Structure 1
Amino acid sequence: MASSGLKQAPASRKYAQSYQSVFDSAVQTVHLLGWNLAQSSASQGLITASTPLNLLTFGDQVKVLVQRRHGRVQVDVTSTSPQLIDWGKGGQNVVQFFTILEQQLASVEPAANPGSDLGAAQLGGTAPLTPPEGTALTPSMDVPAGVDFGRYHALIIGINDYRSLPRLKTAVSDARAVAQVLEQRYGFQTRTLENASRGEILMALTAYRNRLTQRDNLLIYYAGHGWLDQEGDQGYWLPVDATESDTVNWISNASLTTALKAIKAKHAMVVADSCFSGKLTRGLKVRIQTPGYLERIARKRARVVLASGGLEPVADAGGKMGHSVFASAFLEALRDNAGVMDGMSLFSRVRRPVMVNTDQTPEYADIRKAGHDGGDFLFVARP
C-alpha cells in the first residue's frame, strides 16, 4: 500500500510577542511565500496551506499551529509531501517559513505577558484583522471613524499605438477600465492619457506637482512598453513617441522618482504594467495590522510601487474581458474591496493569479529615493 505522504517532524519555536501578533504574522508569511492558504482560524490557532507545484515543492501540505505555552507563544510547523515524494523539501518549507516569520516579528514589540495574552478583541479593543477561514485573501478593513483619508487623484496612462515600436493590444482598454473603477467605486478624480507622448506625461506630472497638497493621494497607472538598460542599470517607460534607437523620448525611473519626490501628496502609488517595471522597487518591510494601524498609516508619507513583474517581460493579454492578466487581477481586487484596503493587501490579492497564469512575478515595494516614510496607499471604497 502506498504511503499517504511523508511528514517532517514538526519544528517548534517560541516568541515573546503577543499571540495575535504572532498569528497575524504567520498568516502573512504564508502569503509572502506564495503558498495557497486553505484555513486560517485565530480561535483554534491553526493555519493550513499548500505549496505551489514547482521543481522544489510538490504541492506539499503545511500545517502551522500557534499556541500559548509557558509564558510564550509557540509556533509548530509541519510539512507533508505527496505520496512517496520528499527529497527533503518538506524541511526546506519549514526553514523558509520561520525565516520570513522572524523577519516580520523583528519589528513587533514583545508583549508584557505573551502566555496569557487573550488578544485585543477579548480585552475590549480592536483585534488585528486576519483572513477569514477558507480564503487566501487579506480582508478589507472597516473604515475607522474620525480618520481623514484626504482627496484622491489618478493619472491613468495607456499606450497601444506606438509610432515606431510594436503595437500593444490591451493597454488602452486596461487604462479605461482602471479609470472607471477608481471613479465609480472609490471617488477618484481621474485624468486618462491614451497613446501619450513623453511631453504629455511629464506635463501631467508637473500639473500635479503644482496643485496637490498634503491632503491629497495620487495613483499613477502606466500600461505600455518598458525597457531595462542593463549597462546603465536603469529602467524606462516608453511613451508613444519613443524609438528603439534614441532614448530622447524615454522616461527614466530616475525622472519618475524625482517627480514623485517633488509632488506634495502624502500618499503616492505607481502601478506599472510594463516590462522590467520591478526596477523601481526596493524591499518593503511587511507591516502587521495592529490596533490603530490605519490611523498611523494615514499620517505617514508613502511612495510605493506595484509592478506587474520584476526584471522580466510581462504579458500584454490573456486576462478576463480582454485585459492583460495583471490588469484583470488588479481590477478584480479593486472591485472586491468593500472597506479600506492598503497597498500590501492589494498586492497579496493580485500576486497569485498573475503568477498562476503567466511567467511573471508581481512586486510591491517603496520607491527608492522618492521620500517614502513608512506609510502605505489606502483604497477607501464608497459605502
Structure 2
Amino acid sequence: MNRFWCGLAVFVAVAVASATVVPASAQTIQSTPEKNPAVARSNSAAIALFKRGDYQGALSALDGIIQRFPESGLAYANRGGVYFQIKKYDEAIKDYTQAIGLGRNDTMTVLDRASAYSKNGEFDRALDDCNAIIRINPRNAVAYRVCGVAWQGKGDNQKAFADLDESVRLDPRAAKTFRARAIAYEQAGLADKARADIAQAGRLDPSSVTQAALAEARERAGAAAPAAMPQPKPAQQLTPAVAPPVVAAAPQNDPAPPVTASDAPGGETRVALVIGNSDYVSVPRLPNPQHDAAAVADALRAAGFKTVRLDDNLGAPAMRQALNEFSAEAAQADWALVYYAGHGIEVNGTNYLIPVDAKLKTDRAVQFEAVPLDAVLASVEGARKLHLVILDACRDNPFLRDMARTVTSRSVGRGLARIEPDASATLVAYSAKAGQTAMDGTDGQDNSPFARAVIRNMQRPGVEIRKFFGLVRDDVMAATGNSQEPFVYGSLGGDDYFLRKP
C-alpha cells in the first residue's frame, strides 16, 4: 500500500545516496512541516485528487506544498508516488531521494525508490535500496520481492527465484509476489509454474492479474508476454483511483489467511492447516520445519486442496487460535488435514506439540505451555469424509535435558506415544514410529527426510491414501538407512481416498 493510504511509517536508518545503514541516533530529528495543519490539509487534498485519477491536479497541489514548505519530506514522497504512477521514473527517483534526505527514510519510501530504479533500468541501485531494508528487517517480504524483480531485470533468474521464494514464504498472502514470480517463471520457460502462480495471484486478488496489471509487471521485469502463455479471464480493471504504486506495506505478524487452489478428485472440498515451528526461544533453532511447512503447503495446493493456511513459528495462544479457526473451516469440508513440523513431546502417554514460546522447565508445565494432540484431532474431526493429521514432530527433544521432574511416577517419553484415534475415517501419520526419533535433515537438505517423502509422493497421480503413506515409509526408510520408520495410526473403511486424480 502506498503512503497515500498509510500516512507516516516507522523510520529506519538508510543513507540517502547509497542506502548504507547508519545508526538511527545519527539522524537529525527536525520539526517537520507535516505537523502544520495547513500542510496536512493540502496533502489530503492532493491525495483526493490522486484517488480520482487527476494526476496533474495532484502534482499541482503537491508543487504548491513544496513551494511553501520546502522541508516537507511527505510532500516530496507523495509527489514521487504521482510521478511513478505516470511513468516519469527519473522525477520519481529525484523526489524519493529528496524525501529520504529530509528525514523521510522509512521502509516504504526506500522501497518505492528501489522500484522506481528498477523501472528505470537501474537495477544495481534498486538492489542497494532493498538490501538495505533487508539488513534492517530480514523478515520484510516486500523487500525480497523488490530485490527479486531487480534480479529479474539483471537476467539472474537464480537470484530472482531465491528472493521471490523467500518473499512468498514470509508472506503467502501477497498476490503481487506470486505475479512477479510468475513473470520470472515465464522468462525461464517454466510455463506450468507460471500458470500456477498467476492462478494463485488471481485467487488472492483478482485485480492483480488483469491484462493491464500483467503487462505492467512484465514491463517492470523487462519481459515480453510469451505467445504460449494463456491469460486469465479479465477481472475488474485497475483504475488510478484504486491502484496503488507497486510496493505494499511490510506484512504484519498476524496469522496468514487461507491460500486457495482447486483440482480435487470428484469435486470434493479439501482444506489444510500447515504449521512449521523453527524459531524456539528456549532451545536451539530447528533449521527445517519452516522450509518443510512451506514445501508441503505448495504440494497440497498442487494436489487440489481448496484452501491451505500456512503459519510459521506460532506461540501457544496463536497455535490454539489457528486450530480453533481451522475447525470451523474443516466442518464445511470433505477432507481436513493438519501438517505440523516442529518439536513434540509425550508425557504420561499424552502427546503434545510444542509452541515456539514454550519453556517447559518442569514436566508439570507441559500441559499448560504445549498444545495436546487431542486439540489437533478435534480440529479435523468435523470434516465429512476424511480426517488427516501428519506430524513431523518426533525429533530428538532438547527440552528433556533441563526439564525438572516434579512427580517421579510421571513418564516423559522419547518421541511420541502410540495413539488410537477415536473418530472414524481418521489417520494420524508420525514421521517416526512411537518411541523413535526422526531426523530434521541431512547433508545440507532444506527439508527433513519425511517431508521430502511426503512431497515427492504427493505429486503422484492416482495414489490411494493408504498406499501413499506406505510409499512415504519406504522412501524414509531408504533415505535413513532403515533407522527411521514412519508409522500411521487409525483405520479407514472400504472406500478409496485419492490425493490426486487417478
Q: TM-score w.r.t. structure 2 length?
A: 0.39
Q: Larger relative CO (CA 8 A, sep 6+): 1 or 2?
A: 1
Identify, as 1 or 2, the structure richer in helix. Answer: 2
